[in-house]
Structure 1
C-alpha cells in the first residue's frame, strides 16, 4: 500500500500529464504517477501491446502475478499517447472516485 494518497490539490498535475504523457515530468506529477503505479495489482488498468507501435488494448491486471491479463472488451487504441491518457484517467477515477473533468475544475472529493 502506498504511503501517499492523492489529494485534491494533485488535480493540478492532470493537465501536465495530458499535455505530455510520455517523457520527463515535474516532481509533483512523478509523485502522482508513483501512487498510480503502486498499490494493489488486482484490477489495475494497463496497456497491452497488440501490434508494436501500432495497436494497444486496455487490460486489467489479475490478483496473482503471472496470471493472464484480462482485456477490456472493445477498448483498443491506435495512438499510444491517447492510450496513456485514457489509462491515467481511469486510474485517477479508481483512486479518487472523480472523473478527470471534475478534478480539473476543482470539483469532487478526492479520497485521503
Structure 2
C-alpha cells in the first residue's frame, strides 16, 4: 500500500498565470511512503504541486513566473522529508528471530548426532 504524506503547504499571494487572481495559489509538497506487511519505507522523491483554488487548475512549472519560481525555492527548503531508511515491522522481526532459532536448532542437531 502506498500513502502520501503532506510535508508542507503554503498559500501564495502571487498572480495566477491562468486567471491572474492573487489569492488562490497554493503549493503542496508531498512524499510517498510504501507499506507492506514486513516494512515501510519513504520514497526519496518529493512531489510538488501548484494549484489555483480560484480557477481550479494545476499550474505546471512551464507556466511559472520568476516570482513564483523564487517563492517555490523558498518553500521547497521548508519541506523536510521523512527519513528514507527501511523500517521493519514486528512481523519481520518475528520471522528473522524464527529463522535464527531454526538455524540454531539445525546446528545443534548436527553437532549432537
What is the TM-score with the length of structure 2 in the denominator? 0.22
Query: Which protein is richer in strand relative to its size?
Result: 2
Q: Rg bigger for which structure?
A: 2
- TM-score by length of structure 1 reads 0.22
